[in-house]
């Protein structure tokens, strides 16, 4: 079974399992730490898909504001792409993975 086929089924489980803590880099989210943590969680047998991830690219310049949503791009070794929706939970930039989708989310990033 393709890992992109199981995204809808596992998205809720991943959303509940992933908690990225301490990704604040001053007033902005530490995009590198967020990317590394999302990747590790998705590759995890316990929390994620147990599938290799080529790269996770989270945006720079996301201000640490509670409730802000932003999207990271997840690339698989076979060239397929998925999108991780993250939400800032606390002023210390603790993040939740809200959803994972093969399609981009219709969000407006708050600066």
28-54 pLDDT per residue, tens:
999 999 999 899 888 888 877 778 999
**Does residue 109 form part of some domain?**
no
**Does residue 49 form part of some domain?**
yes
What is the count of structural domains for the chain?
1
**Does residue 106 form part of some domain?**
no
* Residue 15, token pair as written in the block: 């959303």
pLDDT for 12 beyond 90? no
Tokens 């959303």 correspond to what residue?
15
Q: What is the pLDDT of residue 1?
A: 43
> Which domain does 90 fall in, by range?
7-101
pLDDT for 65 beyond 90? yes
**Does residue 110 form part of some domain?**
no
**Does residue 56 form part of some domain?**
yes
**Does residue 28 form part of some domain?**
yes
Residue 88, strand partner residues: 95
74-108 pLDDT per residue, tens:
999 999 999 999 999 999 989 988 889 999 998 76
Residue 37, strand partner residues: none
**Does residue 2 form part of some domain?**
no
Asked if residue 43 lies in contact with residue 35, where contact means CB atoms within 8 angstroms, the answer is: no
């Amino acid at each position: 079974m393709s890992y992109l086929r199981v995204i809808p089924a596992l998205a809720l489980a991943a959303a509940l399992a992933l908690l990225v803590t301490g990704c604040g880099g001053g007033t902005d989210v530490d995009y590198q730490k967020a990317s590394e943590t999302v990747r590790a969680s998705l590759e995890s047998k316990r929390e994620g898909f147990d599938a290799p991830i080529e790269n996770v690219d989270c945006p720079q310049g996301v201000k640490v504001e509670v409730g802000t949503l932003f999207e990271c791009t997840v690339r698989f070794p076979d060239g397929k792409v998925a999108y991780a929706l993250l939400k800032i939970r606390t002023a210390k930039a603790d993040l939740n993975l809200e959803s994972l989708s093969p399609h981009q989310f219709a969000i407006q990033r708050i600066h």
